[in-house]
Amino acid sequence: MKNKLIMAIALVMALVAGWTATTTTAQAATDDSLAQVQKSGKLVMGTSPDYPPYEFQATVHGKSQVVGMDVAVGKKIAKDLGVKLVVKSMSFDSLLVALQTGKVDMVISGMNPTPARRKNVDFTHTYYQGGYSIVINKSDKGIYKDKDSFVGKTIGAQTGSTMYTESKKQTSGTTVKGMTSVSDLILGLQSHKLQGVAMEKPSAQAYVANNKELAMIPSKFNLSASDTSASVAFAKGSTSLVAAANKSVDQIRKQNLVNKDYLPAAGKYLKTNTVNTSMLHYWKAFLKGIEYTLIITVCSVFFGFILGVLLSLARMAQGGVFATALRWLATAYVEFIRGTPMMVQVMFVYFGLGLIVNLPALTSGIIAISLNSGAYIAEYIRGGINSVDKGQTEAARSLGMTKGYTLRYVVLPQALKNIWPSLGNEFITLIKDSSIVSIIGVSELIFQSNIVRSDTYRGVAPIAVIMVLYFIMTFTASRILNHFERKMQHD
């Protein structure tokens, strides 16, 4: 089962821990989780749709949507509660935080109920019992039989997953290499960097069925039930909701719905999905990615610029205690933002601020990147303002213009001209760096390409496509910026 540790976001977790503690105790005291879901009329399910046949993106009637056996389980639970199911996509790493911060009501993402995880969230009964297999290149069939055949070789598994831990524990003389996504692992297998990839049996079946060059062998790992079972996770203390969901889960088990209905249905989607794996067929997905990448970049540069102007002015404030405090605050902000990773900032805004106001992922992404970009732009602007001759300010002031007017009409336009190349650089950097928001499930270009990769089982082609697309965007942007730079030249 996927059992990835939330290593990357440990910092965010620590920061929000205080709030989380208070929220969870509040929930425990008065559990109105079921009533709240019924009142809102919808049940929000968080999942990471890169894991066929559990959950993956498929084009249904021309529209891309999340399908798979976990979605079927979610639908069943929602239907039994008499509410609508809403599926929210995000990276697997982010799922449990999203649950704790109330971004989603439940998580169904092939998640197994380990004791460590039980400390933070509540699980339903098991709805599916799986097992592990090892995927190998078909040409190696016969060489490898099970986990013990890889002495002196390298096998891969998802970083931090149970597969990863157990592979390390239960093999000897074998190098175990971790990667974040299964598509990358398969790519590593096909390029012979890995000789085998440990993954769940249904996933292995899906990959083998869709890629003629792959084969699967049994893993023969010794596994406990909790390592191979999948459960639905709810926020800690939502006892009434768990009890209600358990009724649905029990029915699923009793009627064997997963094997009888859900898996075959998911297989059908997989088939239609991989009929046409040409990149052109996915132009809509890429276009959507470009659209979001541009929206994020343009909005972030716009708000970042406004913030940058304010910050640079604050950093240059003079006179009085207030000005000193302002200067100190602005400097501290700039230093702090420049000294922490943008990825952590994105997660902090989405999950951390999410405890106070429920912001959609796209908005959170734009806010986080604007806040980040503002710190950098502030430094450019400060340099730009200092580069404008002091005589310009004196001339404007001698004409009776206020400090504000002088700045706005005389100094800033000239500063802008001086820093235009740096600002352009920032803009182009943001086109590329906006990809970070893919971790909170914003469908920008990287996110979309990952979906295409897991849809088509083609590792390299989508990467090549987005490389070209990114280049087209940045090259066009730099042409446009150069055009305006020429327009501003008067001397």
**Choice from 213, 413, 472, 482 touching another protein (CB under 8 A):** 413
Considering only 5, 295, 401, 481, the residue that binds another protein (CB under 8 A) is 401
Nearer to another protein, 215 or 388 (CB): 388
Nearer to another protein, 26 or 395 (CB): 395
Q: Binder to another protein among 276, 358, 402, 482 (CB under 8 A)?
A: 402
Distance CA 206, CA 260 (A): 17
> 81 or 416: whose CB is closer to another protein?
416
Stretch that binds another protein, among 24-32, 45-53, 402-410, 465-473 (CB under 8 A): 402-410
The single-letter code of the amino acid at 54 is Y
Cis amide bond preceding 53, omega within 30: yes
| Contact status: 405 vs another protein (CB under 8 A) | yes
Does position 313 interact with another protein (CB under 8 A)? The reply is no
**Taking contact as CB under 8 A, which single stretch among the options 22-30, 205-213, 322-330, 384-392 is the one that binds another protein?**
384-392
> Which one of residues 283, 328, 409, 471 is an interface residue with another protein (CB under 8 A)?
409
CB closer to another protein out of 328 and 409: 409
Q: Is 490 helix (H, G, I), strand (E, B) or coil?
A: coil
Q: Checking DSSP bridges between strand 106-107 and strand 154-158, what pairing results, if any?
A: unpaired
Q: Answer yes or no: are the C-beta atoms of 349 and 11 closer than 8 Å.
A: no
395 near another protein, rule: CB under 8 A: yes
Q: Which of 349, 469, 296, 352 is nearest to 100 (CA)?
A: 352
98, 88 Cβ separation under 8 angstroms: yes
CB 259: neighbour CB atoms within 10 A? 12
Q: Is 490 near another protein (CB under 8 A)? A: yes
Question: By CB under 8 A, which span of 90-98, 239-247, 307-315, 403-411 interacts with another protein?
Answer: 403-411
CA dist 421 to 100, 243, 414, 426, Å?
43, 60, 13, 9
Choice between 366 and 410, CB closer to another protein: 410
User: For 271-296, b where at least 16 C-beta lie within 10 A, e where not — what string?
Assistant: eebbeeeebeebeebbebbbebbbbb
**Where does this chain touch another protein (CB under 8 A) — which range of 145-153, 354-362, 399-407, 457-465?**
399-407
Closest to 438 (Cα-Cα) out of 96, 203, 100, 92? 92
Shortest Cβ distance from residue 400 to another protein (Å)? 3
The residue within the footprint of another protein, chosen from 30, 172, 318, 398 (CB under 8 A), is 398
From 410, 423, 446, 466, residue interacting with another protein (rule: CB under 8 A): 410
Of 143, 94, 206, the closest CA to residue 440 belongs to 94
Task: Tell me the three state secondary structure of residue 238.
Answer: coil
| CA–CA–CA angle 261, 263, 268 (5° rounding) | 95
Minimum Å gap between C-beta 317 and another protein is: 15
Q: Does 389 bind another protein (CB under 8 A)?
A: yes
> Where does 255-411 have alpha helices with state H?
257, 263-273, 283-315, 320-338, 342-347, 361-387, 390-398, 403-405
Across-strand partners of 178?
Answer: 157
Angle between helices 412-433 and 461-487 (to 10 degrees): 170
Which residues in 230-289 contact another protein (CB under 8 A)?
none
3-state secondary structure of 234: strand
* One residue of 396, 423, 428, 469 binding another protein per CB under 8 A: 396
Residue in 42, 253, 397, 432 binding another protein, rule: CB under 8 A: 397
Exactly one of 154, 190, 392, 474 binds another protein (CB under 8 A); which one?
Answer: 392
User: Does the footprint of another protein cover residue 391 (CB under 8 A)?
Assistant: yes
Choose one: 84-92, 131-139, 269-277, 411-419; the region binding another protein (CB under 8 A).
Answer: 411-419
Residues in the chain, overall count: 491
- The stretch near another protein (CB under 8 A) out of 52-60, 222-230, 413-421, 477-485 is 413-421
Dihedral angle at the C-alpha atoms of 270, 276, 282, 283, nearest 10 degrees? -160
Residue in 243, 399, 468, 472 binding another protein, rule: CB under 8 A:
399
Alpha carbons within 13 A on the beta-carbon side of 8: 21
User: Which residue from 173, 254, 318, 491 is in contact with another protein, where contact means CB under 8 A?
Assistant: 491
**Which residue, chain included where needed, has tokens 């749709």?**
49
Amino acid at 43: L
Residue 26 interacts with another protein (CB under 8 A)? no
Interface pick for another protein out of 35, 306, 325, 488 (rule CB under 8 A) = 488
* Binding piece for another protein, criterion CB under 8 A, among 143-151, 197-205, 232-240, 395-403: 395-403
Instruction: Give alpha helix (H) positions in 409-460.
Output: 412-433, 445-456
- In this complex, which beta carbon is closest to another protein, that of residue 45 or of residue 416? 416
Q: Which of 417, 440, 448, 450 binds another protein (CB under 8 A)?
A: 417
Residue 265, phi then psi, degrees to nearest 5: -65, -45
When the beta carbons of 141 and 408 are compared against another protein, the nearer one is 408
Least separation, in Å, of the C-beta of 393 and another protein? Answer: 9
Give how many residues touch another protein by CB under 8 A: 22
Contacts of 339 (CB under 8 A, 6+ apart): none
Please give the residue ranges that form the binding site for another protein (CB under 8 A). 389, 391-392, 394-403, 405, 409-410, 413-414, 417, 488, 490-491
